[in-house]
């Protein structure tokens, strides 16, 4: 099946996909800030430019989109029916890069927390944020 958009329309649509300040990321940021956590954003000195860096806790939080990071068994990750090979290469490349960056961060003694966008949908949001808060509180005690 051919793409329903012209190449120009598709290019325009894709240019609007954000890598920073996404809605899921803003939800996590506002929640953490409201609970007294302070963080740095998109630290270019760290592998993968993490979404949130909590230096006090030596913890990094990645907020991933389910589609672009290939969240397995998630309803929001569906392989497109057009240009399937290209998309699979892109998504697998993202996964590979994520794994490499995580290894580098763990080697530098950083704790890594990853939250996928589906975990921040209204039905799951409260549970996910509560778990995040508990995890961070445990780090502050130890």
Half-sphere exposure of 32 (CA within 13 A, CB side): 25
Q: Name which of 58, 55, 68 is nearest 22 in CA terms.
A: 68
Q: How confident is the model over 24-49, as a mean pLDDT?
A: 95
Residue 10 DSSP label? H
Q: Flag the least confident range among 6-10, 81-85, 86-90.
A: 6-10
Least Cα distance to 115 among 12, 26, 9, 1 occurs for 26
Q: CATH assignment of 18-141? A: 3.40.960.10
Summarize pLDDT for 61-79 with one digit per residue, the tens: 999 999 989 999 899 899 8
Categorise residue 6: left if φ over 0, alpha if ψ from -120 to 50, beta otherwise.
Answer: beta
Domain boundaries, the chain: 18-141
pTM for the structure as a whole: 0.87
């Amino acid at each position: 099946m051919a793409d329903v958009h012209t190449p120009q329309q598709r290019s325009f649509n894709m240019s609007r996909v954000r890598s920073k300040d996404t809605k899921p990321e803003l939800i996590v940021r506002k929640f953490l800030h409201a609970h007294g956590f302070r963080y740095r954003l998109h630290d270019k000195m760290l592998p993968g430019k993490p979404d949130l860096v909590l230096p006090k806790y030596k913890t990094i939080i990645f907020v991933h989109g389910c589609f672009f990071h290939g969240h397995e068994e998630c309803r929001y990750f569906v392989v497109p029916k057009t240009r399937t090979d290209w998309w699979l290469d892109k998504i697998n490349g993202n996964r590979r890069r994520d794994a490499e960056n995580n290894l580098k961060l763990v080697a530098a003694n950083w704790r890594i927390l990853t939250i996928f966008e589906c975990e921040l949908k209204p039905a799951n949001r409260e549970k996910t944020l509560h778990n995040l808060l508990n995890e961070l509180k445990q780090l502050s005690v130890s």
